[in-house]
Amino acid sequence: MKISQTSATPTATPVNKNIRLLKSSLLALCFTTASIYSAQAAENWNGTVLGFEAPGEGMLGDMMGIRPIIEDHGFHYQLGYLSESSYNAGGGYNHDKHLAYIDQFSLTFTQDLEMYTGIPDAAIEGNIVNRNHNDNLTTKRTQDPRVGINDIAQESWGGQSITRLGWLTFGRSFDDRKLHWRIGMMNKNQDFDQIIPCDFQLLSQCGGKSANSMTWYNWNKHYWGTTIQYKLTPELTLKTGIMEQNPDASDRKYAWSGSLKGARGILLPMEAELKTKVNGLPGIYNLGLLYTNSPQTDLSEGKTQSVGATDPEGYRKHSSTWFMYTGFNQQVTQRGDDPNRGMSVSYSLGLGDQRSNSIHYSQAASMRYRGLFDARPDDWLGFGMTYIKMSNHYRQNQENLNDIYQVDDYGNPLYTPLSGHSVNADLYYQIKVRSWLILQPDLQYWYRPGGVKETQDAWVTGLKAIVTF
């Protein structure tokens, strides 16, 4: 499939039709759900059982009275530590045993400016993340290193041991707080695709699927932009914005940089988010679309033509790309009269342009239960499964490379394994040892790691530790 950039007559390609269909679907959701769900107002909406639990008192308490003083002056922060360990208990590409360990410190803060200026919801928001060890079990043991990663056993592995600015933005509200505007060096986690928490250690079960677009980044990487959120009703929020699309944002030189150097275009996100109640229990739903005008090299040809040093201008190019995501997170049971105990179920789907995205689509389903045991009302039990389908264009490139090198033996180092689909699962039990300390052992099962059928299925055990200061 190819989009001509030189034709003088616009052509309705299947991709353009898909984009128009997704846009139409998004607008339809925005306006129809407003009337359908307005009768089910999310009054007293409580997202605790959905995984949006307010943090408890930190290890340092009120810091001998210092914290209340700075909070009285409008400065609110969360300082935390997280570590994730993974061990290849069986199977995988490399059977040599290895315990992989990573950790990070994070500081997220908000400086309230409304109390000084009177501007509604005026605030400066920031995030700084320090990551260490760069020890990734997935690339070292679980999957064949000759293919790209499509999942990670330690979701907080972000490459490199480095300290980064995650975001630094200014925001405020208008129109009786219905419209919220944000501008600065931002991250998608501030506005978009935040209906599912990141509690699992398996990356594909962590949050929504929009990060699979590979056009914007999670958590500790920033890019320039501006966004708006508008509450069409108390339950339905429409979100959009315009952001820098910079493939080089992961480079070390951009960790603290405000430069636009390396930007290839702009990213236009649109999302509808609905908070409601079903049978009196809270739920949250979303539908989003990303579009970028950043030029894309077709996956089926880029690497193939690079073999033999052909002219890069000869690569098949596409003038844009898109990504659609959707999902829900719904509480389905309540334990007695306690609204903070019960079970929730969630589902997320990401669908990419397989001409330029190595993952065609991925879908994840999960279950969470808070307070399963009366003696442990604050503990969590979670189980999730993910299905990942790799792009046909990505696979075509792998086949082309094997034709060029004239190899068809998986054991040959020159052979490029063919990626198809994979299924991964994660089971965890989260123990709240103290209000400030969480320990979370987990067990992962990887079916066809990396989507390669020749790679043995893998068992991975893990341990996540979270400390709130």
Query: Which three-class secondary structure state does DSSP give residue 21?
Result: helix
Is the per-residue pLDDT at 30 higher than 80? no
Per-residue confidence band for 303, with pLDDT thresholds at 50, 70 and 90: low
Per-residue confidence band for 29, with pLDDT thresholds at 50, 70 and 90: very low
> Mean pLDDT over residues 187-208, rounded?
96
Q: What is the pLDDT of residue 240?
A: 98
Is the per-residue pLDDT at 9 higher than 50? no
Between CA 433 and CA 429 the distance in angstroms is 12
Q: What is the pLDDT of residue 300?
A: 87
Cβ contact 343:369 at 8 Å: yes
Cβ contact 222:262 at 8 Å: no
Is the per-residue pLDDT at 31 higher than 50? no
**7-11, 33-37, 91-95, 437-441: lowest mean pLDDT where?**
7-11
Per-residue confidence band for 27, with pLDDT thresholds at 50, 70 and 90: very low
> String of b and e for 433-463 (b: at least 16 CB within 10 Å)?
eeebebebebbbbbbbbbbbeebeebebbbb
36 secondary structure, DSSP code: H
| Region of residue 27 (phi > 0: left; psi between -120 and 50: alpha; otherwise: beta) | alpha
> What are the angstrom distances between the C-alpha of 353 and each of 215, 265, 292, 299?
12, 17, 11, 11
Q: What is the pLDDT of residue 28?
A: 43
- Count of CA atoms in the C-beta half-sphere (13 A) of 167: 24
Greatest mean pLDDT range, 17-31, 292-306, 323-337: 323-337
Work out the number of other CB atoms within 10 angstroms of the CB of residue 95: 12
Q: Please give the mean pLDDT across all residues of the chain.
A: 89
Cβ contact 443:88 at 8 Å: no
**21-25, 74-78, 377-381: lowest mean pLDDT where?**
21-25
Per-residue confidence band for 160, with pLDDT thresholds at 50, 70 and 90: confident
Cβ contact 101:154 at 8 Å: no
Q: What is the pLDDT of residue 314?
A: 52
- Count of CA atoms in the C-beta half-sphere (13 A) of 201: 35
Q: What is the pLDDT of residue 21?
A: 41
Q: What is the pLDDT of residue 316?
A: 81
β-bridge mates for residue 300, sequence order: none
Question: Residue 448: which residues within 8 A CB-CB, separation 6 or more?
Answer: 420, 421, 422, 423, 455, 457
Between CA 327 and CA 286 the distance in angstroms is 6
Per-residue confidence band for 315, with pLDDT thresholds at 50, 70 and 90: low
Per-residue confidence band for 16, with pLDDT thresholds at 50, 70 and 90: very low
Is the per-residue pLDDT at 5 higher than 60? no
Is the per-residue pLDDT at 25 higher than 60? no
Per-residue confidence band for 33, with pLDDT thresholds at 50, 70 and 90: very low
Q: What is the pLDDT of residue 43?
A: 64
Q: What is the pLDDT of residue 308?
A: 36
Per-residue pLDDT tens digits for 404-444: 999 999 999 999 999 999 999 999 999 999 999 999 999 99
419 secondary structure, DSSP code: P
Q: Which residue would you say has higher pLDDT here, 262 or 289?
A: 289
Q: What is the pLDDT of residue 262?
A: 86
> Mean pLDDT over residues 125-137, rounded?
96
Q: What is the pLDDT of residue 305?
A: 42
Cβ contact 217:249 at 8 Å: yes
Per-residue confidence band for 317, with pLDDT thresholds at 50, 70 and 90: confident
Q: What is the pLDDT of residue 2?
A: 30
Between CA 186 and CA 182 the distance in angstroms is 9
